[in-house]
Amino acid sequence: MRILTFMTSTLLIVMAATAAEAHAFLDHAEPRVGSTVPTAPREVSLSFTQNLEPAFSSVEVKDASGTRVDLGKPSISASVMRVGLKPLPPGTYRVRWQVLSVDTHTTEGSFTFRVGQ
Ligand SMILES: [Cu+2]
């Protein structure tokens, strides 16, 4: 009986840890993570696994020399964050995001995409 109680509480801890892992992670992006697109996109769109707190979520897009190419303040609706882009010449661009999800956890990440061949 004691071993069963032990196993049950261990299982509960594992389940609680799994639930706490359900932060806002990047589900998918447009342009896609690591992709090469033939024509310059006019915006980056990031879809997350949870709704975001707009006041504490941000995204930056930079070219290979570190110059920002996004238009500034992103628009955030539920779990999707979008930011407009300046006209992009061919090259590699890095998207860096930091978001606060409605479960009060902050997550961040980055990826690149390429414009051109
Ligand atoms: Cu979380």
Q: Token digits for 101?
A: 């999800």
**Distances from the Cα of 59 to the Cα of 20, 26, 95, angstroms:** 24, 12, 7
pTM for the whole structure: 0.81
Per-residue pLDDT of the chain (117 residues; tens, 9 = 90+): 555 555 555 444 444 444 555 789 999 999 999 999 999 999 999 999 999 999 999 999 999 999 999 999 999 999 999 999 999 999 999 999 999 999 999 999 999 999 997
Ligand 1 center from residue 95 Cα (angstroms): 22
**109 CA to centre of ligand 1 in angstroms:** 15
> From CA 31, how far away is CA 8, in angstroms rounded?
45
Q: How far is the CA of 38 from the centre of ligand 1 (A)?
A: 36
CA of 69 to the centre of ligand 1 (A): 30
Q: Per-residue DSSP letters for 69-80?
A: -B-SSPEEETTE
Distance 16 CA to ligand 1 centre (A): 11
Query: Which pair of structure tokens corresponds to residue 84?
Result: 């407009």
Give φ, ψ of 11 to 5 degrees: -60, -40
